[in-house]
Amino acid sequence: MAILQAARTVDKGRPLHIVTNNKRAAKRLTTDRKKHEDLGWSDTPETADIFRLAVAELRSRSARTTITYISKNRRGWQELRDTTTTARATARATRAARDQSALEDKTATSFDAPGAKLAAMSQRTAHRIIKAIDTASTPDRKATSTEVKKAQIAIERATGKTPAETQIWASLRTKDLSPSLRNFAWKGLHGAHKVGEYFNNMPSPWKELATCPRCDTVESMEHILFECSDPARALIWDLALDALEKKLGERPEPEIGTVWGATAASFQAENKEEGRGKARAFRILISESAFLIWKIRCERRIQHEDDENWVISNEEATSRWKATINGRIAIDRRLTNKTRHKRGALGTKTVLNTWRDMLDNEEGLQEDWLRHPGVLVGIGTRQRRQREEG
């Protein structure tokens, strides 16, 4: 509920004027509030909690707060239109800010001490920043269709089937991937990752980010994920493809489009369930591995400022990949808990079908390893245990 959000976000000591076209909400919080409170909000059971919270939040404000209801159909009030436009821009800016990778976080912090500095900022500066964020978050259509084509071609190569464009976008809503992974692919499909060319027209020190210092070439997402000489990059793909080879019966040859379109890949199998398991394994392993490579690249370039002495050892890269995938298996296991997740719970079969053929010592595993929390299940756990024992 936007009102609650506004009350929470705006500094309590500052006046807040809420304009809403939700007549019911406005009434409940103002003229009808006492009536509802006297009844303990029991007359509106479905929304009682949220209204109770909103009232508490609004009461905790020390500055003046007003709530005004404006009919949706009212036209010609310039201020309202402006407010709507600003609200949309702010929402976009917030989204852009949330989506920022470690890289942009660093550039943003120089002018963006969260919230506090806004009052001191001149309107012109604020306008310029919003405009900059806006331009950056509005994907370029040509870039989008190029990346979508790459995804279609790559998925066709991997599976024999070309996903439709709508299918690619729809598949991005999958719950199989975390929001950051989905956002990573979404940006990729829009050609909106800020790398390489993006920095070319900027002043130093950002300009230097356009080039990969390891390889002395323009850095693109393709370079980062598939060409860079960083040994961690090749190693992580090796681990992922070893696992997928066991699962699919053949070794995939991913390219950049495979990463952007991984959620839309479907596989033939003896039965539906098995096919679904393959697709799920594919999307999880491809996405998680690519994202890990990207994270390591950001650590190297941003956090460690291209320090030549900073390298991730093969051992560390391996253990980070294993930790990522085994962490994902652990999440899957937890999500099958029906008591906790109710109808949102993941099917036991789905989980077993996803990981089957990729786990260590599967011969020794009971089919229902999911329900034995003590059983260590994972990828690469056998080797680690042997090392620990020896």
Closest distance to Zn ion from the beta carbon of 157 (Å): 24
CA distance 111 to 28: 39
Closest distance to Zn ion from the beta carbon of 228 (Å): 3
User: Which range of residues in 23-31, 170-178, 204-212, 336-344 is near Zn ion by CB under 5 A?
Assistant: 204-212
Contact with Zn ion (CB under 5 A) among 214, 247, 283, 300: 214
Q: Counting contacts by CB under 5 A, is residue 248 touching Zn ion?
A: no
Closest distance to Zn ion from the beta carbon of 209 (Å): 12
Q: Counting contacts by CB under 5 A, is residue 118 touching Zn ion?
A: no
Q: Counting contacts by CB under 5 A, is residue 300 touching Zn ion?
A: no
Closest distance to Zn ion from the beta carbon of 310 (Å): 14
Q: Counting contacts by CB under 5 A, is residue 301 touching Zn ion?
A: no
User: Which range of residues in 73-81, 90-98, 225-233, 272-280 is near Zn ion by CB under 5 A?
Assistant: 225-233
CA distance 388 to 172: 40
User: 72, 81 in Cβ contact below 8 A?
Assistant: no
Q: Counting contacts by CB under 5 A, is residue 202 touching Zn ion?
A: no
Q: How many other β-carbons are positioned within 10 Å of the β-carbon of residue 18?
A: 18
Binding residues for Zn ion, rule CB under 5 A, total 4
* Binding mask of the shown chain, residues 151 to 190, with x at each position contacting Zn ion by CB under 5 A: ----------------------------------------
User: Which range of residues in 90-98, 101-109, 222-230, 360-368 is near Zn ion by CB under 5 A?
Assistant: 222-230
Closest distance to Zn ion from the beta carbon of 233 (Å): 8
Distances, alpha carbon 359 to alpha carbons 94, 130, 348, in Å: 41, 48, 16
Query: Residue 144: which residues within 8 A CB-CB, separation 6 or more?
Result: 189, 190, 191
Closest distance to Zn ion from the beta carbon of 308 (Å): 13
Q: Counting contacts by CB under 5 A, is residue 132 touching Zn ion?
A: no
Q: Which is nearer to Zn ion, 28 or 214 (CB)?
A: 214
Q: Which is nearer to Zn ion, 170 or 215 (CB)?
A: 215
Closest distance to Zn ion from the beta carbon of 206 (Å): 18
Q: Counting contacts by CB under 5 A, is residue 228 touching Zn ion?
A: yes
* Binding mask of the shown chain, residues 47 to 76, with x at each position contacting Zn ion by CB under 5 A: ------------------------------
Contact with Zn ion (CB under 5 A) among 164, 215, 323, 330: 215
> Which amino acid would we find at residue 312?
I
Q: Which is nearer to Zn ion, 294 or 355 (CB)?
A: 294
Closest distance to Zn ion from the beta carbon of 216 (Å): 8
User: Which range of residues in 114-122, 148-156, 214-222, 289-297 is near Zn ion by CB under 5 A?
Assistant: 214-222
Interface positions with Zn ion (CB under 5 A)? 212, 214-215, 228
